[in-house]
Amino acid sequence: MSTQAATAAARRSKITPERETELYDAVLRLLREGGYDSVTMEGVAALTKCGKATLYRQWGTKPRLVTAALARRRCVVFGGIDTGTLAGDLREAARVAASHHERDAGLMEAVAQAYIQHPDLRAALRETVIAPEIASIDAIVARAVERGEVEAGNPAADLVAPAFLGMLRIERICEERFTDTSAMRAFVDAVLLPALRATG
């Protein structure tokens, strides 16, 4: 490691885990209250009595700070799901998704809107937050292929992750059609499972 890199790492390490959590909480609070545009380095600094220079030194840009806050405060939602069957895995993913969606729908809505409008944030979120979720859903389908539950080459296999995550996004737009937490389970049973079990 170069002297310059070592110095930068030493500076970054001055923020304690407790202080880091406080900063991330402030970011999420601003996201919930006013969306991505309401999050500013100045606002986070004011809420936490932290110098702006510290924020810029640690994260460099607002998208990196927001992405770090979302990644730290949220584990991979679909990671670790493995019931032994395709139906069991997808239904468990639906249950978990509905639980998280209901608990923090406002935050999810703010992030989804920002994802569309801000390319710099989109790139950071895709790598840090979204890619692990897609990988977890893809793993569910891959295991089903290995068990023989899904035919290798089924064209629906590559569409499960985008369809599943897209359904979470569209739920709030078509809320009159989805009045309770069973919407994701119904989507799994009526759309995903039939498509995955279809043979050519």
CB atoms under 10 Å from CB of 152, counted, come to 8
**Alpha carbon distance 42, 55 (integer Å):** 9
Query: Could you tell me which of 3, 41, 2, 4 has the C-alpha nearest to residue 23?
Result: 41
Q: What is the pLDDT of residues 81-110, one digit of tens each?
A: 999 999 999 999 998 887 776 666 667 777
Q: What is the DSSP letter of 188?
A: I
pLDDT at position 12 over 60: no
State the Cα torsion 17-75-107-123 to the nearest 10°: 90
Contact 160, 137 (CB under 8 A): yes
Q: Are 102 and 77 in contact (CB under 8 A)?
A: no
**Closest residue by Cα to residue 25 from 96, 87, 107, 140:** 107
Q: pLDDT by residue (tens digit) across 133-178?
A: 899 999 999 999 999 999 999 999 999 999 998 887 776 667 666 6
Residue 59 and residue 68 in contact, taking contact as beta carbons nearer than 8 Å: yes
What the chain holds in terms of domains, given with CATH numbers, is 3-72 (1.10.357.10), 86-197 (no CATH)
- Closest to 116 in 3D by CA, of 34, 24, 25, 37: 37
Task: Please tell me the predicted confidence (pLDDT) of residue 55.
Answer: 94
Q: Tell me, what's the pLDDT at 10?
A: 39
- pLDDT over 60 (residue 13): no
CB pairs under 8 A, 24+ apart, for 126-132? 128/67, 128/68, 128/70, 128/71, 129/67, 129/70, 129/71, 129/74, 130/165, 132/76, 132/79
Instruction: Classify 152 as helix, strand or coil.
Output: coil
Q: pLDDT tens-digit profile of 37-52?
A: 899 999 999 999 999 9
Q: What is the mean pLDDT of the chain?
A: 83
Confidence band of 2 (pLDDT split at 50, 70, 90): very low
